[in-house]
Amino acid sequence: ARVLRLVLGDQLSDSLAGLTDLEATRDVVLMAEVRDEATYVRHHKQKIALTFGAMRAHANRLAAQGVTVRYVRIDDPDNTHSIIGELHRALTNGAYARVVITEPGEVRLAEAFAAFAATAGLPVEIREDRRFICSHARFRRWAADKRELRMEYFYREMRRETGLLMDGAEPAGGRWNFDAENRKKLTRGLRPPTRLRTAPSATTQGAIADVARLFPDHFGDLDDFGWPTTVEEAEAALETFLARILPAFGDWQDAMAHGEPWMWHGLVSTAINMGLLDPLDVCRRAEAVYRAGAAPLNAVEGFIRQILGWREFVRGVYWLKTPEYGRMNFLDADRTLPWFFWSGETDMACVADVVSATRANAYAHHIQRLMITGNLAMMLGVHPDAVDDWYMTVYADAYEWVEMPNTRGMATFADGGIVGSKPYAASGAYIQRMSDYCGGCRYDVKGKSGDGACPFNRLYWGFLERNRPRLRHNARLAMPYRTLDGFGEAKRAALLAEAEAARLALGAAPI
Ligand code: FAD
Ligand code: DLZ
Ligand code: SF4
């Protein structure tokens, strides 16, 4: 009997669990461009264009294989503009014996699908998404007996289980982690290689035009759109990265430079998250580059750890801790998000560069997200909901399962230490060490107080002092708190006042 099979905008894999038993001549695949998904957060224009362009290309690909696709366009006059609405509409327009759904990447839709299954009036099967290296059951088993969840230990188990970068029972090179070698500052005069981005196909150009017309007031520019939208485009971009860029990925992984949005990063998160690339396959191919002697171990291990370790770990944490995770606010952060996060209009050269690149590309690399915007939002005390909303809005690779543990966990410590063991708070000295931003900044990176001093410096000690009751007993913060204690009461009060003045001056107002 005929089966209706839903494919979401980030489920564009040939091997999708919901399609494994597809009977092309009998079943119908439903794909729908809907306003609800484009606006539940008001995504960057490039994120919507990427999704629609890739969905259209995938529908064409399926159709070419003889599959019947019910494809609902964003400008279809009968569009109900929600996924559930489109499921109901498809069911009224055809006779189906059952519905097959692959589990979605976030709680919001998982709950909607559960409610749909309970009331649809026909069998609805929701299958686990198997495009991850670690299943839900495997992660739960790993987490069950742990007092704390630490990525590093999870990662080692994943290395053993997959055999990635293993020489028998031992890690390649005798160590699990080569991060200590991955913290070089960009040497003066050295520039990252030019990146060839993907030119939009005719299909993608159509999607870009639709987004320009229908979502004109969303954040972001469309002019420099360069994301792969098909498996072939994603493969080509990956091949170029593996051959030309990966060898230096490790050395400059944490470096930042003005006007250099890509550095030596992979630019693969959008394609992996949408299903155009398979994460395990990407790791295996990176390993092959190392085994062939074409890239050093520190680069390849660092790259594989991000995918096999961090990506799988945050996904596990999200589903383990959700929905409470999305309500956590360990530091009682209660301020508004300053307007310059959107406009980029700030004299902080580092922040201005990240925001303008984010607007142009729907991308910033990891250390910019973590140590510039994330660190600043945390030290300002911006409410986690506002921070989540910003990260979900501005990045083309943003999906709640990966965005939220990174934002609420790694970057702002709103989860109180589930993802990371301490807040990544840092003053201007860190940014100066890892970038060339400070030379071109109106603020003095050495200044400690007053309007001309680097805001990261003005915020740093006050952040620790304000959060003393919540952070004082964190073993990894023992050193800075000892320093703070040594300052004496009067100086600590002055540091608090300095940080408060900086918070208000930057526009982080009480909610
Ligand atoms: P590379 O540096 O080349 O890394 C290779 C791959 O490793 C990435 O494509 C990604 O799949 C994976 N990866 C690396 N770091 C992480 C991480 N911390 N968590 C999960 N996967 C990782 N990544 C997203 O995919 N979506 C998000 O919404 C997202 N939000 C983030 C928010 C904050 C505050 C922070 C600090 C990080 C966030 N990340 C997110 C993780 C990381 O910044 C991006 O995956 C990365 O910048 C994507 O660019 P790339 O492909 O060039 O990555
Ligand atoms: C991100 C996105 C956007 C912008 N639009 C659609 C859409 O119109 N139709 C669709 O099926 N999926 C879309 N997506 C992806 C979903 O939001 C994503 O599947 C969920 O957030 C779960 O990860
Ligand atoms: Fe950023 Fe401070 Fe450096 Fe300016 S001085 S670029 S605000 S870290």
Q: How remote is the CA of residue 172 from the centroid of ligand 1, in Å?
A: 24
Sequential pLDDT tens for the chain (511 residues) = 899 999 999 999 999 999 999 999 999 999 999 999 999 999 999 999 999 999 999 999 999 999 999 999 999 999 999 999 999 999 998 899 999 999 999 999 999 999 999 999 999 999 999 999 999 999 999 999 999 999 999 999 999 999 999 999 999 999 999 988 888 888 888 899 999 999 999 999 999 999 999 999 999 999 999 999 999 999 999 999 999 999 999 999 999 999 999 999 999 999 999 999 999 999 999 999 999 999 999 999 999 999 999 999 999 999 999 999 999 999 999 999 999 999 999 999 999 999 999 999 999 999 999 999 999 999 999 999 999 999 999 999 999 999 999 999 999 999 999 999 999 999 999 999 999 999 999 999 999 999 999 999 999 999 999 999 999 999 999 999 999 999 999 999 999 999 999 999 999 999 9
Q: Which of 51, 86, 270 to mutate to test the pocket of ligand 2 (most atoms within 8 A of CB)?
A: 51
401: nearest Cα among 316, 284, 283, 507 = 316
Q: Please state, in angstroms and rounded to a whole number, the distance separating the CA atoms of residues 449 and 476.
A: 26
Q: Is 502 in the pocket of ligand 3 (CB under 6 A)?
A: no
Q: Please state, in angstroms and rounded to a whole number, the distance separating the CA atoms of residues 213 and 386.
A: 27
Q: Order of strands, edge to edge, in the sheet holding 3-6?
A: 68-72, 28-32, 3-6, 98-102, 124-127
- Closest residue (by CA) to atom 6 of ligand 3? 438
- Closest residue (by CA) to atom 13 of ligand 2? 9
Q: How remote is the CA of residue 268 from the centroid of ligand 1, in Å?
A: 9
**To which H or E segment does residue 494 belong?**
helix 489-506
> Is residue 496 helix, strand or coil?
helix
> According to DSSP H, which parts of 348-477 are helical?
349-361, 366-367, 375-380, 384-394, 400-404, 428-434, 455-466, 468-471
Q: How remote is the CA of residue 474 from the centroid of ligand 1, in Å?
A: 26
**To which H or E segment does residue 202 belong?**
helix 202-214
Q: What's the CA angle centered on 230, arms 224 and 236, to 5 degrees?
A: 80
Q: Please state, in angstroms and rounded to a whole number, the distance separating the CA atoms of residues 426 and 102.
A: 41
**pLDDT tens string 390-400:** 999 999 999 99
Sign (positive or negative) of CA dihedral 103, 11, 373, 215: negative
A 10 A CB-CB count for 341 gives: 24
Q: Which atom of ligand 3 is nearest to the CA of 349?
A: 6
Which ligand approaches the C-alpha of residue 59 most closely? 2
**pLDDT tens string 250-292:** 999 999 999 999 999 999 999 999 999 999 999 999 999 999 9
Q: Is 379 in the pocket of ligand 3 (CB under 6 A)?
A: no
Q: Which atom of ligand 2 is nearest to the CA of 104?
A: 22
What domains can you pick out in the chain, each with its CATH number? 3-127 (3.40.50.620), 136-321 (1.25.40.80), 340-506 (1.10.579.10)
Query: Which pTM does this prediction carry?
Result: 0.98
